[in-house]
Amino acid sequence: MPTIVQKFGGTSVADAERIHRAARRAILAKSAGNDVVLVVSAMGHTTDHLVDLARQVARKPSKREMDMLLATGEQVSIALVAMAIQEAGHSAISLTGAQAGMLTDSSHTLARIKSIDTSRLRGYLAEGKIAIVAGFQGVDPSFNITTLGRGGSDTTAVALAAALKAETCEIYTDVDGIYTTDPRLVPQARKLDRISYDEMLEMASLGAGVMHGRSIELGMKYGVPIHVRSSFTDMPGTMIMNATPDMESISVRGATLKRDITRITLLGVPNRPGIVAGIFEEVARRGIFVDDIFQNAAAATEATLGFTVTHDDLDEVRAAAADLAKKFAITQQQVEPGLARVSVIGVGMRSHRGVAATMFQALARASVNVENITTSEIVISVLVRDSEAERALQVVHAAFGLGG
Ligand code: ADP
Ligand code: ASP
Ligand code: MG
CATH of the domain at 278: 3.30.2130.10
Domain total in the chain? 2
185 within some domain? no
Residues in contact with 298: Cβ distance below 8 Å, sequence separation at least 6, in sequence order: 304
Residues 32 and 141 in one domain: yes
Q: Is the CB of residue 48 below 6 angstroms from any atom belonging to ligand 1? A: no
Residues 284 and 156 in one domain: no
CB 152 within 8 A of CB 204: no
Residues 30 and 160 in one domain: yes
Structural domain for 367, as ranges = 255-399
Rounded to whole angstroms, how far apart are CA atoms 82 and 384? 47
122 within some domain? yes
98 within some domain? yes
Number of other CB atoms surrounding residue 134 within 10 Å:
29
- Report how far ligand 2's centroid is from the alpha carbon of 175 (Å): 16
Per the DSSP assignment, residues forming a β-bridge with 47 are: none
Residues 260 and 365 in one domain: yes
For ligand 1, pick from 175, 206, 215, 390 the residue to mutate: most ligand atoms within 8 Å of CB.
Answer: 175
Number of other CB atoms surrounding residue 52 within 10 Å:
10
Q: Is the CB of residue 14 below 6 angstroms from any atom belonging to ligand 1? A: no
341 within some domain? yes
Number of other CB atoms surrounding residue 156 within 10 Å:
29
Residues 269 and 133 in one domain: no
Rounded to whole angstroms, how far apart are CA atoms 73 and 52? 13
pTM (two decimals): 0.94
Rounded to whole angstroms, how far apart are CA atoms 182 and 346? 16
Residues 260 and 144 in one domain: no
Residues 170 and 270 in one domain: no
296 within some domain? yes
Instruction: Tell me which residue of 208, 204, 165 sits closest to 189, measured CA to CA.
Output: 208
Q: Is the CB of residue 239 below 6 angstroms from any atom belonging to ligand 1? A: no
290 within some domain? yes
110 within some domain? yes
Q: What pLDDT does 298 receive?
A: 67
Residues 270 and 158 in one domain: no
Residues 259 and 392 in one domain: yes
- Where a domain ends, among 174, 194, 229? 174
User: CATH number for the domain including 85?
Assistant: 3.40.1160.10
Residues 165 and 259 in one domain: no
Residues 160 and 286 in one domain: no
Burial status of residue 89 (CB atoms within 10 A of its CB: 0-12, 13-18, 19 or more): exposed
241 within some domain? no
Using DSSP's 3-state secondary structure scheme, residue 12 falls into: helix
- Report how far ligand 3's centroid is from the alpha carbon of 153 (Å): 7
Residues 161 and 263 in one domain: no
Q: Is the CB of residue 348 below 6 angstroms from any atom belonging to ligand 1? A: no
- Is the alpha carbon torsion for 271, 265, 368, 181 positive or negative? positive
Residues in contact with 326: Cβ distance below 8 Å, sequence separation at least 6, in sequence order: none
State the alpha helices, DSSP H only, in 286-367: 314-327, 355-365
Q: Pairing between strand 290-297 and 238-241?
A: unpaired
Number of other CB atoms surrounding residue 386 within 10 Å:
15
Rounded to whole angstroms, how far apart are CA atoms 131 and 49? 27
Atom of ligand 2 nearest to the CA of 42: 1
Mean pLDDT per 10-residue section of the chain, whose length is 404 residues: 97 98 98 98 98 96 97 98 98 98 97 98 98 98 98 98 98 98 97 97 96 98 97 96 90 96 94 90 90 82 91 85 90 94 96 93 97 94 97 97 89
Q: Which ligand is nearest to the CA of 9?
A: 1
| Helices and strands: H and E segment counts in the chain | 11, 18
Using DSSP's 3-state secondary structure scheme, residue 290 falls into: strand
